[in-house]
Amino acid sequence: MSPQSAIQHEDALHHLHPFTNSGRLNKKGARVITRAEGVYIWDEGGQKIIDGMAGLWCVNLGYGRTELADVANEQMRVLPYYNTFFQTTHGPAAALAKAIAEVTPGDLNHIFFANSGSEAIDTIMRLARHYWAIKGKPYRNILIARENAYHGSTLAGASLGGMGGMHKQGAPLVPGIERIRQPYWYGEGGDMSEDEFGLACARALEEKILQVGPDNVAAFIGEPIQGAGGVIVPPETYWPEIQRICRKYDILLVADEVICGFGRTGNWFGSQTYGIEPDMISMAKGLSSGYLPIAAVAVGDRVANALIDHDEDFNHGFTYSGHPVAAAVALKTIEIMQQENIVERVRDVIAPYFQQKLAELADHPLVGHIDKKGLVAGMALMMDKATKTPFPADIDIGMICRDHCFENGLIMRATGSRMILSPPLVITEAELDELFLKARHCLDLTL
């Protein structure tokens, strides 16, 4: 295959794609997506594809929501832009801050706006260190994260994340970052029970804190469920122990909820699913259901009050922090979620059905193990599941399966040899039936 349509030609000539081998893509041409409705997208050739990834874990309310388009249109006419830097604000930013404060757990009552998850993470990294500087402890600047975590693509986000492929490029990384192991029980748990392994992984945090000195650590940052790392669902014992350790050493606990936030795990936030009360939460994606770029950091009273009481500007922000159109769309997204009881429906109806369909797929010879929670899942593909033997490195089994899915009208993402599902939260049982029928067929083709 080579670029055929006008769009493919233009694209190959001028568009550098993210996370892509451009040389290879340009030879065959990118698949052109032209429109979308509900949980389906259509490509240029007219093929209808069920979107098992909600775009990139973000189109939670599904495509074609005219209410969101109408709100954007109206806001653009009334006030398309004004900044929130110089002693000014506007209705959408203020109302959205209040709405986010109301749905977040604990005392996360203060909201800082950004445009992307990566910017939210940069904000948190700076804010955590700045907090300790305000408190007279500027040496408390080490940030602890995890192997195989994804926290974005800016230099700070890539440095904080634990993706080796990203660390290789654009180095040197931001200093002052330490990492501990991930809680991936199926892959790394050995003979331990899931609960024992969860505790062991959490205690790696305590070991790291003691190694670098508790008085040097600013914060621990983790995704409640690692998303881009392959949907690594932690054992139930993990997060409570992490919280206990953070409290013991007075270390800020940060949940990166860019994927888990806004209903994905069956609660508004993954922190609620795991019973933790972080000092800060980053969010993006589902905040606007992916309709416009917007992100936020929800900040707890402790950090926010230190900032507020400290008589100095916080020298950080983005031209589009709290952009009125994006904020209006995000506000409407939250309103729709509340009116349609989206979170309750995920928790009580659609996630249980999704999990049942996953359990049925578990007998497939390629599927070694499925990590699942709420409406997100990661399947480990194995050459021999009985002996847990992975495919050799020269067989990119994930890509092979992903391509079969693409050709057969299903978007399922591959992360290494793990296949990921994270469909729109509004998906119906009938649509899940179709999705899983296709998934099984594509796994068969991959065999």
Spatial distance between the Cα atoms of 291 and 329, rounded to a whole number of angstroms: 7
User: At its nearest, how many Å lie between ligand PLP and the CB of residue 344?
Assistant: 24
Burial tier of 13 (Cβ tally within 10 Å: 0-12, 13-18, 19+): exposed
Strand partners, 389: 384
* Token digits of residue 341: 């009881």
Distances (CA, A) of 379 to 54, 159, 230, 370: 17, 27, 8, 4
Q: Which residues of this protein are in contact with ligand PLP, per CB under 6 A?
A: 116-118, 121, 150-152, 223, 227-228, 256, 258-259, 284
In the complex with ligand PLP, the residue whose CB is nearer, 18 or 136, is 18
CA distance 275 to 238: 11
**Radius of gyration over alpha carbons of the chain, in Å?**
22
Smallest separation (angstroms) from ligand PLP to the CB of 203: 23
Q: Give 206 or 223: the residue with its C-beta nearer to ligand PLP.
A: 223
Q: What is the residue-wise DSSP string for 396-432? A: -HHHHHHHHHHHTTEE-EEETTEEEE---TT--HHHH
Nearer to ligand PLP, 200 or 255 (CB): 255
> Position of tokens 């099984």?
440
Q: Which residue is nearest to ligand PLP (CB)?
A: 117
Nearer to ligand PLP, 281 or 367 (CB): 281
CB of 383 to ligand PLP, least distance (A): 28
CB of 227 to ligand PLP, least distance (A): 5
Q: How far is CA 354 from the centre of its chain?
A: 19
Task: With beta carbons less than 8 A apart as the criterion, state whether 109 and 100 touch.
Answer: no
Going by the DSSP 8-state scheme, the letter that residue 63 receives in this structure is B
Residue with Cβ nearer ligand PLP (125 or 245): 125
Supply the minimum distance, in Å, between the C-beta of residue 65 and ligand PLP.
20
Q: 118 or 148, CB closer to ligand PLP?
A: 118
Distance CA 180, CA 45 (A): 46
Residue (326 or 443) nearer to ligand PLP, CB: 326
**C-alpha dihedral sign at 395, 167, 236, 288:** negative
Query: What is the smallest separation between the CB atom of 415 and ligand PLP, expressed in angstroms?
Result: 11
CB of 50 to ligand PLP, least distance (A): 21
